[in-house]
Amino acid sequence: MKNKTKLWIIGIFCVLLFASCSTTVQIKNLLPSEVNMGMYKHLAVTSCQPFDNSIYWSHQINGIDLDREIDLPSLTPMALQKSVAIYCQNTLFDSLEESKFFALTDPETTSDLISLGDVFGNSQELFIKKGINAAIATKITSLDHREYLYKEDKTEVDVNGNSIVRYDYYLHQEVSISISYSVIDILQNSTITNGYLSDDEEKEFLVGTYLEDDGSGSSSYTQYLNMAPNLKNLYAICIDGFVEKIRTKLAPVWTYNNVSLMKNSPKLESIESAYKNVRKSNLMVAYNTFILAWEDGNHIPSGYNAAVILQAMGKLEESISLMEEVYDYSGNSSIYNRLSIMKKNLEDYNEASNQIAGIEDDGDSQLEVFSLETFFSD
């Protein structure tokens, strides 16, 4: 009987929880890039210049106040600087390729063109003949790390008053990295945009545990980690963030967010099925139900929901027109806020579409003189 009561309570809780959750639809919006690269669709990605200061990569990781010797070789390669630079250039290339905004020339081909241009003194001409009208050059300007072992005292006293001595040994790893980048107009030999990015990451790993029980007199040490992870993994997290920022700056991007439908209040029984259809992804069926309730009786939630569903189906201009009708009738501030967001979505879409079409921004851009050959020289 008690089990049945528990099941009944759980069932009621689940029903209430489901009922309290708002019904949502996913809205897809196209955001313009910060810099209009519409006139520079054929982009060459250069090889990333590694950090050129020598760094001592010790395979012996030091400990702080350790009471034992812990053997922990490092997986970090001696050629880390080059490895990080290659990861940076390849990740940038892959991300820009995924945007489907550019026709790209890969770093290896770009390097070959630059080398050939150095020999014959005609780098710019070679790029132009290949149809390349812009290039992005990246350089790692700083690269640093710190890793060490330390212990934490986790000693406890059991119910019998015996001390259970426990020490946990940890590996601490932290890195910092900075990069600079420039996007170059090949024909004008000028900078379109540039930037500087920096970040740091850290992570800790449980290396081993020492246990000593004064009740039994036994002691043991168990080591869980036998190799220190490659520091490149932490640098990669930083670089992934850099690349995302560069991509957003240079190429339009689709974003997705969930928008809640307005609750059925005042309640109208005839539209309850529409909420269920939305949850089943039957958006057109739900729209038809909502729009009928709006047109027949000016049911405000139905008009609002119909407009939101129109946007979810990609009919942004129609959704704005309907939402304006609903707002004019209701004067509801929440509806006005959603209408303002929808109008901003349309502005963003139009601007991004112009970038994709290669339409230039109004006004003259201010370009500074830049040279591929001098970018890597300090």
Residue 18, pLDDT > 50, answer: no
> What domain range is 328 assigned to?
256-357
Burial class (CB in 10 A: 0-12, 13-18, 19+), 194: middle
Average the pLDDT over 241-252 and give the result: 97
- 163 versus 257: the higher-pLDDT residue is 257
242 with 305, same domain: the answer is no
Shared-domain flag, residues 327 and 240: no
pLDDT in tens, 160-198: 778 888 999 999 999 999 999 999 999 998 999 999 999
pTM of the model: 0.81
Residue 219 within any structural domain of the chain = no
Residues 132 and 46 in one domain: yes
246 shares a domain with 304: no
Choice among 15-19, 244-248, 361-365 with the minimum mean pLDDT:
15-19
In this prediction, residues 110-129 reach a mean pLDDT of: 83
Q: Are residues 181 and 272 in the same domain?
A: no
Q: Residues near 212 by Cβ (< 8 Å), separated by ≥ 6? A: 164, 165, 166, 218, 219
Residue 70 sits in a domain whose CATH number is 3.40.50.10070
Confidence band for 55, pLDDT divided at 50, 70 and 90:
low
Secondary structure tally for the chain: helices H, strands E: 11, 11
CB 231 within 8 A of CB 201: no
Is residue 310 included in any domain, yes or no? yes
Number of domains observed in the structure of the chain:
2
Report the CATH number that the domain containing residue 267 is assigned in CATH: 1.25.40.10
CA 354-359-362 angle, to 5 degrees, is 105
DSSP annotation of 352 reads H
Contact criterion met (CB below 8 Å) for 117 and 129: no
Let me know whether 194 and 343 are in one domain.
no
Residue 311 lies in a domain: yes
